[in-house]
A and B are shown apart, each in its own frame.
Chain A
Amino acid sequence: MSDDFLSRLHEEPRPEFAGRLDERLRQIGARGHDRRLVPASLRRGAPAFAGALLVGALGFAFTLEPVRAAAREFLDLFRVKRFAAVPVDPQRLARLAQSGLDLKTLVGEQVQVVVAPQPPVEVASPEAAAVDAGITARLPAVVPPGFEMAETKLSRAAEFRVRIDTAKLGALAEAAGADEIEIPAFWNGATIDVDVPAVVAVRYARAGEAGGGRRDDGYLLLQAAVPQVELPSGFDLATLGRLGLRLAGMSAEEALSFSRAIDWRTTLLVPVPVQGGTFREVEVGGRKGLMVIAQPTKVTLAEAAGPRPRPRAILLWSTDDEVFALQGPATNAGANVLEMAESVR
């Protein structure tokens, strides 16, 4: 059967169009590449920023959190300068748990709460919260039309002490099938103090909806002092990080390549469940930030029966002194959130 007739619709692109596009592509090539990151999703309503600072994925517990020296020999300094997304496969963690690995026990028994985290408390103003948090309040000059500041909350600092048990880390590595990772014996017994800084949260809601409104409609700006991590001399974050990446589901090769490529001393990993959504690197005030566009999952029966939640944009960035996260409805791929973030002064 001849299908020649179908080729008759074939056209050559107009030369002027081809020329324009060629020029445009050369400009893109000359300027460098935007970097759209991995599809992923965040849980709606979860304090993503706090989640990044707290123990988001157990495998990352030692590497992701702000850690302060608990002993005199803690010398190396970790300072967050950028963020990177790491997809975590919740089903894999569930399978590990079903196979008898109790991650919570393995890690939890090694964690001592020094200063317990408290529920966020409402405070009079961002400035008042910032004083308590030991930072300078920075607020957006640009707020989406119809929105106004609704409330400010402060999550006070918390502290944890983690004692490394190499036998249990070895068990984790075995469970993850990560027998290529060798846990140094001298780590055993080392303690790390985890210091979660106070977080100031400023919520913006539609005028007249300060106490309510749709959960996926408002904006939430979080800010905290830059987490700093002091590590024992000779402590290899990359090794521990690889273990976390393997638990999250990466292959040995992927975890090794990632581990080699990332600067563990300046990059805060953001563990994200592997689902729909996109990440991309953006610039906020000349600094690199991480934009996440996530389609929230429905979390309650009432919400499940309602309209599909709107995608959320979550933007993470840092300055010399502070780290920020801004959440809001994702309009134009998060352009609204980026514009608001750019105006934070």
Chain B
Amino acid sequence: MNRKIAPPIKDAIEFNLLLKDYDHYTLDNGVPVYAINAGAQEVLQIEIVFYAGNFFEHQRGIAAATNFMLKNGTLKRTAFQLNEDFEYYGSYCTRACYSETAVLSVHTLSRHIEKLLPVMQDMLTESIFPSEELEIYKQNTKQWLKVNLQKCEFVAGRLIDNYLYGEDHPYGSNSQLEDIDKLTTDDLKKFYQQYYLNGNCLIFVAGNLPHGIKNLLNDFFGKLTIAKPSFTLPDIKVSPAAEKKFRVQNDPAAVQGAIRIAQNFPNRHHPDFKKVIVLNNVLGGFFGSRLMGNIREEKGYTYGIYSYLQNHIQQSAWVISTEAGKDVCEATIEEVYKEMKKLREKKIGKVELLLVRNYMIGQILGDLDGPFHIMAKWKNIILNNLDKKYFYESVEEMKTISAKELKELANKYLQPEKFYELVVY
């Protein structure tokens, strides 16, 4: 055996990727359910996705507070009892609020699901948003925010969104301490009434599903006044900042700067999106990328540097993000632009392109491990109003996009003057 020679491999691009189909049904009230029944472990997850994100709020912070406080008291149960009812069975009930959607999810051993559905139903029909609970929420959220505002990377993440979308756009607006102060139980109750009690939602269930899951879901959620979503969203215009370059001092004791370089980018429905995913991988999408190779592995300026496309529904942004030593921030930015220039001027070599293709396909193969991961892929497709064609076309682009096309895309998008540039230190 010659250890200097790599063993033969099967190129990952020769793999046939299959995304396991979901079961689909609708509850009596028209709410759609997507189900993946798979997995060796006796566990499952239910996610109820409401169109109740911050796109729908008239004042910053209401959507997130309402979502959070679903677990802080109903007519029948105090906050403590709600927690106890999940935790006794070793189950996790979590909430999350995004731009368009707000989610209530439960993860549990499958055998306990019947005990938990009534509690979820209770939260979705009889939440009361007690004022003393809201005061605790406000106090703790403000404290959390104060600690985070001292972190350069947190501030940089907020500011760059601000420049990209404008302060009045849900993608670009950041809640401030004053916004949290202003919240009232009345605001929350109104929001709950409109966007949960009478809201639009979809349900995703995955894992080892018990027999009769369909009837169970219908019994607990099929009679509620919720309805299926229309996928149309309020039209809020972005207003990107006119100025492009920012240096912001946040912490006089900082030893590193948080760097963000970003430009607005269309959403997944744009024909370039799937192609740019590949170009992004070459640039900074994984550990073997050009940015990582140059700025971490060659120069040692940073612990890590990545580029990515933001996961928004209506529009996206292409972002490069890193934390680098304070004295090498400007040098880091210069190197980022040099890497863009190389991609604009020289076609990506065969070996590198094959590596990136194989890596990306291998990633997807690995990502499809288990029912939760499969559902995560579907959820993304469905919430973006796409279908499985999108998945297969994306895979096809990874396998076939040419070096020439990638170079054209680099020339179209990787132009330094298109990018916002920010250092927070």
Are A and B genuine complex partners?
no
A-binding residues in B (CB < 8 A): none
B-binding residues in A (CB < 8 A): none
